[in-house]
Structure 1
């Protein structure tokens, strides 16, 4: 019986002595943390490039003092006039409607036509098109969808 008790204790001792090795856990955790930090930074950079970089573009018109400012994410367009005289500078909205399906920057692009006041607006993701006209009077500024 004493032999059985001794053998029983000898088998129990190794079971109780197994434990985690503390020296490798902090290193592994640090490596995982630094990897996660790098991944997070890369994802933020990708998000900025998709949603912030090259969001706005200026398109020159044949009139040297006027540009069309396009928000390439939403399709919104402003007419921007610059001048050496502060009183002659202004900006007016040509299209204030969000035309996007929230697909990211660089979706919209303007293409000039032979008519100096008219452009074509293209949604490069869906292929939708609009006829855009800018002008000095509000009645001469409009946008309409081309089906």
Structure 2
């Protein structure tokens, strides 16, 4: 009987120890998930809110929309007349080199159709021209 009681106590302690370690593991996993979710939220708030920027041109109906993460640019036209609003892609190439969100910025020049695109992390630059005709929209690297 004494051996049986000892065996029950030992089994109970082992089971409680395993249950306690599983509870601890679940708590750690839950904490890691919460930390991961928090970091993703912080990353979105830091980078995601400024991912796209609109730059006015001297033409009151047109803006340049820049994806600050990739360097991609669209020409956006607004209008009070139906059917005259829309956007066209100026540059659909990802220029980022995975440098992160918010690294690109557009700077106007004295020519209303010309901008300079700058990667603020690497210092790389592009000459950007926007226009209404496809042949007038282009981007080329400045070396």
Task: Structure 2: give runs of 5+ residues left out of the alignment.
Answer: 1-5
Structure 1 stretches lacking a partner, 5+ long: 1-12
Aligned to 1:86, what secondary structure does the other structure show? coil
Contact 1:57 1:72 in 2 (8 A): yes
Partners of 2:24 and 2:75 in 1: how far apart?
56
Equivalent of 1:22, from 13, 16, 27?
16
Which structure has the bigger radius of gyration? 1
Q: Deviations over 1:101-131 (max 9, x none)?
A: 1222101110111111111000112110001
Give me the whole-angstrom Cα distance separating, in 2, the residues matched to 1:133 and 1:89.
20
The alignment's TM-score, normalised by the length of structure 1, stands at 0.77
Contact 1:78 1:92 in 2 (8 A): yes
- Distance in 2 (CA, whole Å) between partners of 1:92 and 1:21 is 66
TM-score by length of 2: 0.79
Equivalent pairs, count: 134
Q: CA RMSD in A?
A: 2.6
State the 1:56 CA deviation: 1.1
Alpha-carbon separation, structure 2, partners of 1:127 and 1:28: 49
